[in-house]
């Protein structure tokens, strides 16, 4: 995967900039504030960093698409969309504090962009929730973000295999045996959850296929 594979295409970047602009203006309640687009450009540059193979602008766009699918379930869909933009804005596969650093980035950037404090706090909370992907019952915003982030698990087999290969590429610095052991542990943990998806749409449309994909990958990883 070369640099062109990581960098957002101009059409994709333009569409994402437009989506960011709409979301920030909506979060402001239509109020006047700084030009949102420099913030979009900063975030898109982060999402195109060279260490990324799966957590790229393509993943960002997919999560935003899934949030749109689930938006009716959210208490504040615009806050969820902003959280999607920030949830992997800081991403180093060799570090464990990515979610916290991403949340702190949101707490710094969103007030500068004119987003009210209550929405900024909700965005940061949602970003931190992606550490566990375990929203409390009734946390509809959290359910939407977590389901949107995990929706790749229910992709068609070819797309899922590409996702798994990209995850492996991001951890290219990890020896094969260690990666297989670590990845298998993650897959088992996911399969042991009583439910992967919390929204009605996710439970009905994604749960069974995701469990099949996870089980298939686990079989391939373990002798």
Q: Which residues of 14-26 are buried (b: 16+ CB within 10 A; e: fewer)?
A: eebbebbeebbbb
pLDDT score of 179: 97
| Count of other CB atoms within 10 angstroms of residue 186 | 13
Q: Which residue has the higher pLDDT, 1 or 96?
A: 96
pLDDT score of 202: 98
Where residue 2 falls among pLDDT bands split at 50, 70, 90? very low
pLDDT score of 222: 86
- Quick one: average pLDDT of 45-50? 97
pTM of the model: 0.93
pLDDT digits (tens, 9 = 90+) for 62-105: 999 999 999 999 999 999 999 999 999 999 999 999 999 999 99
pLDDT score of 9: 60
Residue-level length of the chain: 223
Distance between CA atoms of residues 133 and 143, nearest Å:
8
CA atoms 212, 146, 94, 194: torsion sign: negative
- Quick one: average pLDDT of 201-209? 98
Where residue 5 falls among pLDDT bands split at 50, 70, 90? very low
For residue 220, pLDDT beyond 50: yes
pLDDT digits (tens, 9 = 90+) for 16-38: 999 999 999 999 997 789 999 99
pLDDT digits (tens, 9 = 90+) for 135-190: 999 999 999 999 999 999 999 999 999 999 999 999 999 999 999 999 999 999 99
For residue 56, pLDDT beyond 60: yes
Contact 80, 141 (CB under 8 A): yes
For residue 6, pLDDT beyond 50: no
For residue 4, pLDDT beyond 50: no
Distance between CA atoms of residues 50 and 28, nearest Å:
33
């Amino acid at each position: 995967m070369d640099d062109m594979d990581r960098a957002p295409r101009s059409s994709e970047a333009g569409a994402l900039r437009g989506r960011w602009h709409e979301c920030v203006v909506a979060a402001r309640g239509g109020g006047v504030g700084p030009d949102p687009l420099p913030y979009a450009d900063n975030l898109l540059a982060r999402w195109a960093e060279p260490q990324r193979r799966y957590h790229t602008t393509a993943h960002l766009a997919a999560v935003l698409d899934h949030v749109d699918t689930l938006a009716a379930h959210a208490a504040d869909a615009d806050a969820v969309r902003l959280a999607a933009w920030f949830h992997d804005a800081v991403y180093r596969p060799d570090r464990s504090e990515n979610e916290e650093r991403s949340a702190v980035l949101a707490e710094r950037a969103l007030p500068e962009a004119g987003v009210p404090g209550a929405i900024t706090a909700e965005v940061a909370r949602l970003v931190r929730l992606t550490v566990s992907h375990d929203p409390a019952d009734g946390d509809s915003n959290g359910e939407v973000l977590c389901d949107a982030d995990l929706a790749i698990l229910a992709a068609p087999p070819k797309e899922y295999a590409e996702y798994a290969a990209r995850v492996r590429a991001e951890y290219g610095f990890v020896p094969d045996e260690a990666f297989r052991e670590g990845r298998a542990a993650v897959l088992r943990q996911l399969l042991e959850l009583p439910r992967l998806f919390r929204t009605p749409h996710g439970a009905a449309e994604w749960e069974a296929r995701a469990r099949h994909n996870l089980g298939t990958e686990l079989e391939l990883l373990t002798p």
